[in-house]
Structure 1
């Protein structure tokens, strides 16, 4: 038998409250609705059942045996629905006991540990899984639901920023400039600014495609008007820094990596060849009210206000 459209969970909630309290004024106070709304809900529900649930004695409603029978099933239906909603939210990761976060290797010195400490203070029982990778890999895992949120670098130029999925919520943490990375005591050591065109004969090392720093690398050279001589491509920032410090080649790196090694020098680029990354938290908009992600968002906002500038090249 088809269920009448007039039977809703909201009306079941009103009905069950009335069966418990047996007083419309108290039901009205409990649910925050008018007594008229309570009466209408009960009357509408009785009509949809196509059988009497109450008898009228003056202005009072007296439940019949049918109402008590219906209350047993209605209570189970509401409880099952509530249990189902919790299970669905748990399956989708909403307020789960574990949060899966993705980030870049270059953010593991200060930014990510600071965020994790703050998040654990807000949510002591929350377990956190951290996945490190490239922008491309992390964005794909976020889209596939394998990660709940990611903290990555986003190119600040509008054409790159506009390419972000509109279904994602973005929370900026800090901006980081791109520099020439050179070994100590290189011919360019001590210069206040570098004109990239002066390095057209030099060898370079860079990250493989998919990393935001690799995107910035090619963006800067496109502005300089030439293709650099690439001697090696690597998959992680630590190997890249070691190659630069060993004299294998120069590179273009964000200012935050200065703290990873004392064996390289970061030299500012002339403004017409420069680029900037915006370190940003990304999460699905549909999950922005998830309590765990709300805590992470709050921590990122606080980090951006108080600690973000410490991560750049000062």
Structure 2
């Protein structure tokens, strides 16, 4: 059954107000409408329903049983619509008091804390939920709408036209070695000289894992990988314990004083571009505009 065009949410709001207040004058006062407008809304709603809701006794309208029955459904309809409007506006970043940001573990020492502090100064009322994970996980959650924005490392330009990217800084990938390793005194490391060494790497889905694979493709051999781990902190601890070497971005140097980062020979150098990514269809949302502005300012200042 098609819904008649005379049945609108505005008229349902007037109807529910009348059922609650029982007086045209009181509804008029509460909604800021004339009594004539209130009466017309109720009358045309009856026309749309093709069913009487009220009977007239003198100058008063008396609700019929049909009005009480319809009121239950009207209340649910209006409530669902209000809830939908609120959720859609929150999803779009309008009137939302909370934002969901995703990031890499390796950015939690300086970059992300500085961004969050600056964002809090700009929007004190905003609450932020921070999710940490791999590139693959964060990109999937962004695509699924479970995150509003992500700050990750990327290799090369972003080809996805559905995303807006704001670069923050570039980070060079280097050899991670325990203190006192045979490579400690070198200013550059030739990966060709490490064919017999053992390595540890992050699992698939991390940008640093992709950087690791790219470097050894350039070196022309597959290194002996003795272990894959799921987070960068475990990897750093294993390297510092002498389990194996790895390739890590320069930003992790301060996570541990027990490892040394040594630049690679120019033939194997690669960089990760730390970048904010957000959905293009939401780039004008106030909260995302504020985050993008702080990321641009961070990029202009340079990494501290």
TM-score range, shorter chain: 0.7 to 0.9
Q: Distance in 1 between matches of 2:275 and 2:122?
A: 20
| Shift >4 Å, 4+ stretches | 1-4, 65-73, 80-87
Give the Cα–Cα distance (whole angstroms) in 1 for the partners of residues 294 and 226 of structure 2: 40
Report the Cα offset of residue 88 of structure 1.
Answer: 2.5
Whole-angstrom CA distance in 1 between matches of 2:192 and 2:123: 50
Which stretches in structure 1 are left out of the alignment for 5+ residues? 5-64, 74-79
CA drift of 1:94 comes to 3.3
Measured after TM superposition, the shift of residue 260 of structure 1 is: 0.6
Identify the residue that residue 153 of structure 2 maps to in structure 1: 153
Cα drift, residue 95 of structure 1: 3.6
* SS at 2:303 equivalent: helix
1:129 aligns with 2:124: no
Q: Aligned residues, how many?
A: 241
Task: Say whether residues 1:114 and 2:109 are aligned partners.
Answer: no
Give the whole-Å Cα distance in 2 for the aligned partners of 1:293 and 1:94: 10
The question of whether the paired residues in 2 share the 8 Å contact of 1:95 and 1:290 is answered with no
Note if 1:256 corresponds to 2:251: yes
Segments of structure 2 that go 5 or more residues without pairing to the other structure are: 7-34, 44-78
User: What residue in structure 2 maps to residue 57 of structure 1?
Assistant: none
1:275 corresponds to: 270
TM superposition score normalised by structure 1: 0.70
Quick check: 1:94–1:287 contact (8 Å CA) kept in 2?
A: no
1:191 matched to which residue of 2?
A: 186
Q: What is the rounded CA distance, in whole Å, between the counterparts of 2:91 and 2:38 in structure 1?
A: 35
2:303 corresponds, among 301, 306, 309, to 309
Report the secondary structure of 2:217's partner residue.
Answer: helix
TM-score by length of 2: 0.73
Q: Distance in 2 between matches of 1:254 and 1:144?
A: 28
Cα distance per residue 1:107-158 (max 9 Å; x no partner): 00000000010111111111110000000000000011110000000013x5
Partner SS state of residue 309, structure 1: coil
- Residue from 168, 177, 184 that aligns with 1:173: 168
RMSD in angstroms over aligned alpha carbons?
2.7
Residue aligned with 1:278, SS: strand
Q: Deviations over 1:60-106 (max 9, x none)?
A: xxxxx999977999xxxxxx999975553125443411100000000
- Counterparts of 2:36 and 2:237, CA distance in 1: 79
